[in-house]
Amino acid sequence: MEHPERPWTAFYRAGARAEIAAPAYRNLPDLIRSVAETYGRAPAFTCVLPNGMNGTLTFAQVDEMSDALAAYLREVAGLKQGDRVAVQMPNCLSFPVAAFGVLKAGCVLVNVNPLYTADEMARQFADSEPHALIIVDMFADKIPAATAGHPIPNIIVTRVAEFLPAMPRGIVGLVQKYWDRSVAPIQLAHVRLPDALAAGRAHVAEGRVEVDGYHQGVTGDDVAVLQYTGGTTGVSKGAMLTHANLILNMEQTMELIEGVEKGKEIALTALPLYHIFAFTVNLLGFYWLGARNILIPNPRPLTNLKRAFENYRITWMSGVNTLFNGLMNEVWFQDTPPRHLKFASAGGMALQTSVAQRWEAMTGRPVLQGYGLTETSPVLTFNPLGKTREGSIGVPVPSTEIACLGADGTPVPQGEPGELAARGPQIMAGYWKRPDETAKVMLGDWFLTGDIGVMDPDGYVRIVDRKKDMVVVSGFNVYPNEVEDVLAAHPGVLECAVIGVPDEGTGEAVKAYVVKSDPGLTAEALRSYCKEHLTGYKVPKRVEFRDELPKSNVGKILRKDLRAEALAQMAAE
């Protein structure tokens, strides 16, 4: 394809670079070290528990601790440059220490969802073949089953309350051990994270090692993170994200953000850091800005965020549609919405128009929607502050091109929907050990997203829907996002999801799953409402009310689970 013009750069903030020629740092450890030297004793990460108990690490402390961990991994555990280290924990003070330590050791970080079952862990471990695992104690009981047949030689165990002051750390430990019994005895050889740090620290203190030497040979083209994704084919695979991918994507995103003050922001991180959106934007981006990062170990229930909002002057937060929607239905949030917030950023799933409008009305600040995928590190587009366009995922970030392609792989006419393809320096190096899967999503140097979108003449992009989620009713394409947007605007609807189900008359039919906010809402009333806003074939033929909808750990509603359930139910009938 030809090199497209880039009219969207007209919407960039004054002084923003349209092209970022090279990453600002040679690798991520260089970034980590440079930021720590700049902000030193300023608070970097604060972990806030639901009852308000908290602990803080400064930039200097995180830097020193991650040095100690890097030394432990190389000198005691015997790892080499390029070896994989799995990290499996929720948002807590151990996460940045672990992630930065792995990278400083010249190793590859493998982010693992802490809520995975032993079977899910086993599949990811078998594929990534980690040489070490750093895991929170609450989930360590799954390790024996998860490593059967492919043992991991080095197990390091941490706690959610690690590095908190002694009193709250002790209280949490007692509650977990005796009250909710969430921590079982660990029946395998392991080392505690503080002990690993002490061992590594001894090597550093004695002058036997130079931590910077571990990553001296690491370049921007080397893999930094294996980030697992279902991708566009549903096969679990590890996206190889390089140091340059992640540094540049952080720079691309931050280049478009206005109004932030380095060293003065207080950012709320409720999304899990093991997810690529929070990893790049929250962990790397907020750290690079010198922001104080407020870590929430578990945002469910949403009252777990209440003390963080009360006790800290939150200026910036990221989230997904369900998080913003849920917060606005909390009485405490309605009564005292954050007063210091500059803006919020949304990703991970479509931001519904009604949610965006309510948020801005309630907080006085917009939600800036962006778009991307695990394979793109993740950000491809972003809505510039003050130039947001309703229903749009914004404009391509610097050094990024977006095209809408037809089934034959050529660009569709202007204004018509096509599969979004992207190219830029944030595109992954490929799938780990899966050249076959890599070939399915690459068209030359263009990455095929699997999403259907439309680009306006000036460069703003609108997502129509996931290619695989599209419903075909009597030959007409129905995009679930459009139907969900209408349903979400009904005052009696709290949450909704739309899928396609087999239908004898029309091939497929639209089915809606709805969580009510008004107990009196009926399916007939909801369908009548939809008929006022949608053409006939888009109106849900079936409506099923639920108490809750299945969600991923970042709060994304899982249509695939609803679809599988519906198909199984229809087969049984």
Which domain-ending residue is among 192, 218, 244? 218
H or E element that contains 531? helix 523-533
| Domain-embedded: residue 4 | no
DSSP secondary structure letter of residue 256: T
Residue 495: beta bridge partners?
Answer: 515
DSSP secondary structure letter of residue 411: B
> Domain span at residue 140?
59-218
Q: What is the pLDDT of residue 507?
A: 81
| Domain-embedded: residue 307 | no
| Domain-embedded: residue 64 | yes
Helix, coil or strand: residue 408? coil
Q: What is the pLDDT of residues 89-114, one digit of tens each?
A: 999 999 999 999 999 999 999 999 89
| Domain-embedded: residue 452 | no
Which domain-ending residue is among 190, 218, 246? 218
1: pLDDT confidence band, cut at 50, 70 and 90?
very low
| Domain-embedded: residue 443 | no
pLDDT surpasses 70 at 181:
no
| Domain-embedded: residue 155 | yes
Q: Hey, what amino acid is at 428?
A: M
CATH number of the structural domain spanning residue 509: 3.30.300.30
Nearest-5° angle of CA 424, CA 429, CA 431?
130
| Domain-embedded: residue 402 | no
Q: Cβ distance 267 to 343 under 8 Å?
A: no
Average pLDDT for residues 336-361, to the nearest whole number?
90
pLDDT surpasses 70 at 2:
no
CATH number of the structural domain spanning residue 85: 3.40.50.980
| Domain-embedded: residue 250 | no
**Angle, helix 59-71 to helix 28-39, in steps of 10 degrees:** 140
Q: How many domains does the chain have?
A: 2
User: pTM for this structure?
Assistant: 0.87
Q: What is the mean pLDDT of the chain?
A: 92
Q: How far apart are CA 367 and CA 343, in angstroms?
A: 6
Which domain-ending residue is among 167, 191, 218? 218
pLDDT surpasses 90 at 496:
yes
pLDDT surpasses 50 at 231:
no
